Structure 1
Amino acid sequence: MISVRRVLVSLALAFTAYLAARGLSGLAPAEHPLVIVGALALYLTTTWLCLFWEPAPFGRAAGAGRDQETGVPAPRGPEKLPLPAALLAIVSAALVPTAVSWAFAQDVRDDPYATWYLGGIGALMVIVMVRRRPWFAWSGLVMLIVASMAWMGPAQALQLGLVGSIVWVSCAQLLLRSMDRAARDTARLAQLQRAASAWQASHVVRQRERRVQVQSALSVAGPVLTRVIATGGELAEEERLEARLAEGRLRDELRGPRLLDDDVRAELERARRRGATVTVLDEGGLEGLADAALGQIRSQLAETLRTARSDRLYIRTSPHERVAVTVVGRSDSGAGLSDEDSVDLWMEIDHPAGARN
């Protein structure tokens, strides 16, 4: 399968090979042909190392896979060039222009076979830039600028291809930054889409739970409301009691469904029938509990309510690490006693051992 990366690598290989062939064509007029061969060998070795040398998996940084600011997975792209290859590229940028220029006589240093290094080192620095070593790329380009201007003069070096190398490296850095920014934006968008999907799913679940609660409320309050409408609000005492019990059951189902089972519901109704006021509130703390743990908590709650004689009962869940449910009972006390003295029941139901899923 042909990928974009393979196409780009193939183009880089073809271009560097073409530049090397230009350099080989100058062996005949060169005063020191062995120097040309050595410069070409160094150039090709460095270029191909920069193209194909990938860092070892264990040598990558632990957080290299994520964006440092957002924690979003970092964009995939060219791996960072290993340091030895980057240093070798700097060495090539320093030695190749000087070696090639020194190998030719003064009168032929401006010929195409003697100036191939302008494009060659420029292409090498583009590869270094794409491999995420910008400081090395710009340092190598500065060395190329200094060497070429020293051997040919500023005007001649700029005219023969130095400008193109500067433009290539600049464009490579701009394109790499743009691609990385686009990849990060895409990763953030994907993360937001996942969060939106999760929110939508939880919203659908909440809607379903509300429909179930409404249906349960109608099943509890429907008969009572029908009777109220039929009698025009003129209810017998027994019917008024049933209406209050229905209201209490409805409040319990809406405010504390995780605390309820058949035994707890029966004890709550028994307490209300004897005239007690009961308040049930689920304020968090029971999330993630196993069914067996919830069963133990409900069993202890039912037992506590079975023995309670208070006039007002307050049942609340607790976010405390140890306490799961708190039951407080208060009764009317004699005159002159403080509110704290009227508390006649205080029960804390602990979380069972290993309660969390």
Structure 2
Amino acid sequence: MISVRRIIVVLGVAFTAYLAARGLWWTESVPQPLLVFASLSLYLVTTWMCILWEPRRVSAVGPDGVVTEGPPAPGSRTRLPSWSAALALACAVLVPSAIAVAVGPAARTEPFATWYLGGIGALMTIVMVRRRAWVAWTGIAALAVASMVWMGPLNALALGLVGSIVWVAATQLMLRSMDRAARDTAQLAQLQRAASAWQASQSGRQRERRIQIQRALTVAGPILTRTVTSGGALTETERTEARLAEGRLRDEIRGPRLLDDAVHAELERARRRGTNVTVLDEGGLDGLDEASLAIIRGQLAETLRTARSDRLYIRTSPHERVAVTVVGRSAAGEGLSDEDAVDLWREIDHPTAP
């Protein structure tokens, strides 16, 4: 499968090969051809290594003892290793002077002798792409000094030095823009995930509210219908049923996770005795499975079965050990403090708590 990266690699190899080939298109004799061949070879080997280099894949040993290879660590996919960067910098320092010495003073401004202006510029552009900005700019500085020394500042600037500087600068600006776009994309993706989670949470709450409304209609519907049809003239029995229906409705809204048939029965029995019962789910039961909830509900029903308080307060607890707290209070006798009115205190632990 042809990818964009492979196309860019092929173009990079072809372009640098073209720049190096210009160094072999001699229009006059060269005093030291072997030095030219050595410089071209060093340039091509270094440049193609920087283009084709790939980070080593990470090896890991699985639980079964099998060695598997995974992708490289984040951030190491494009960064050139130090030894390769040092070799590229050495090439930028050595090649211009070697070519200038090899072709002689008379041919230093000829096209076959000035190819390194574009060639080293292309190499430093590749180094910049490989996330070695300081090495790239140091190589450009070395290229500028060597070319100006061997052919003069004006000739160096006119024959390609300006283009090499522009390549490296444009590449750095492009990388910064790409990095900024990547950060913005990551932030946008994070915001989208947060928005999706919020929307899912709102949908769950709306669904839970619809279920609670349906339960409320099931519990309070008959007595409300009777109240409307009778114009509010209820018998004592119907008033009791209305009070019980109101209590069941409050329980369904405030603490649905604490309720099952046994707890419902004990709450109704306590209210028929005249006990004022308050049920509140204030968190702490999130993530519990049905088996754990069943154990907590069973202990709650047993506690309510033996309670004889005038007022009962049943609250879930965010404590890591306590799941539900049941507090019973009764009318205190004259001269007793408010603390003495507490006649029931029961903490129901989480089933998994030590």
- TM-score interval (norm. to shorter): over 0.9
Partners of 1:119 and 1:11 in 2: CA distance: 15
- The Cα offsets for residues 11-36 of structure 1, whole Å up to 9 and x where unpaired, read as 11111111111111239521111110
One-letter code aligned to 1:32: Q
One-letter code aligned to 1:83: S
Partners of 1:321 and 1:350 in 2: CA distance: 9
- The Cα offsets for residues 30-66 of structure 1, whole Å up to 9 and x where unpaired, read as 111111011001000000110011121349xx9963x
3-state SS of paired residue (2:160)? helix
* Farther off after superposition, 230-239 or 34-43: 230-239
Cα shift at 1:259: 0.4
Partners of 1:217 and 1:205 in 2: CA distance: 18
Match of 1:206 in 2: 205
Cα shift at 1:195: 2.4
Cα shift at 1:178: 1.2
* Farther off after superposition, 29-38 or 155-164: 29-38
Match of 2:40 in 1: 40
One-letter code aligned to 2:200: A
* Farther off after superposition, 194-203 or 319-328: 194-203
Cα shift at 1:187: 2.6
Match of 1:10 in 2: 10
Match of 1:124 in 2: 123
Match of 1:71 in 2: none
Are the counterparts in 2 of residues 54 and 82 from structure 1 also a CA contact under 8 Å? no
Match of 2:179 in 1: 180
Cα shift at 1:139: 0.8
Match of 1:240 in 2: 239
Match of 2:141 in 1: 142
Match of 1:102 in 2: 101
Are the counterparts in 2 of residues 36 and 100 from structure 1 also a CA contact under 8 Å? yes
One-letter code aligned to 1:150: V
Cα shift at 1:183: 2.3
Structure 1 residues 349 and 78, CA, compared in 2 at 3 Å: closer, same or farther?
A: closer
Match of 1:49 in 2: 49
Partners of 2:353 and 2:81 in 1: CA distance: 50
3-state SS of paired residue (2:347)? strand
Match of 1:162 in 2: 161
Are the counterparts in 2 of residues 284 and 317 from structure 1 also a CA contact under 8 Å? yes
Are the counterparts in 2 of residues 53 and 82 from structure 1 also a CA contact under 8 Å? no
Match of 2:274 in 1: 275
Partners of 2:316 and 2:305 in 1: CA distance: 18
One-letter code aligned to 2:39: A
Structure 1 residues 149 and 78, CA, compared in 2 at 3 Å: closer, same or farther?
A: farther
Match of 1:86 in 2: 85
* Farther off after superposition, 177-186 or 316-325: 177-186
One-letter code aligned to 1:154: P
3-state SS of paired residue (1:112)? coil
Match of 1:229 in 2: 228
- The Cα offsets for residues 123-159 of structure 1, whole Å up to 9 and x where unpaired, read as 0000000111111111111110111111111111000
Match of 1:219 in 2: 218
Partners of 2:154 and 2:102 in 1: CA distance: 21
* Farther off after superposition, 101-110 or 247-256: 101-110
Partners of 1:101 and 1:167 in 2: CA distance: 23
Partners of 1:169 and 1:136 in 2: CA distance: 11
3-state SS of paired residue (1:233)? coil
- The Cα offsets for residues 86-133 of structure 1, whole Å up to 9 and x where unpaired, read as 110000000000100111221210000000000000000000001111
Q: CA RMSD in A?
A: 1.9
Determine whether 1:29 maps to 2:55. Answer: no
3-state SS of paired residue (1:320)? coil
Cα shift at 1:354: 6.7
Partners of 1:14 and 1:333 in 2: CA distance: 96
Say how many residue pairs are matched: 343
* Farther off after superposition, 343-352 or 222-231: 222-231
One-letter code aligned to 2:319: H
Are the counterparts in 2 of residues 326 and 347 from structure 1 also a CA contact under 8 Å? yes
Q: How does the TM-score come out when normalised to structure 1?
A: 0.92
Are the counterparts in 2 of residues 129 and 169 from structure 1 also a CA contact under 8 Å? yes
Are the counterparts in 2 of residues 331 and 344 from structure 1 also a CA contact under 8 Å? yes
Match of 1:284 in 2: 283
One-letter code aligned to 2:19: L
One-letter code aligned to 1:178: S
One-letter code aligned to 1:123: A
> Percent of pairs identical after alignment?
69
Partners of 1:347 and 1:14 in 2: CA distance: 81
One-letter code aligned to 2:181: A
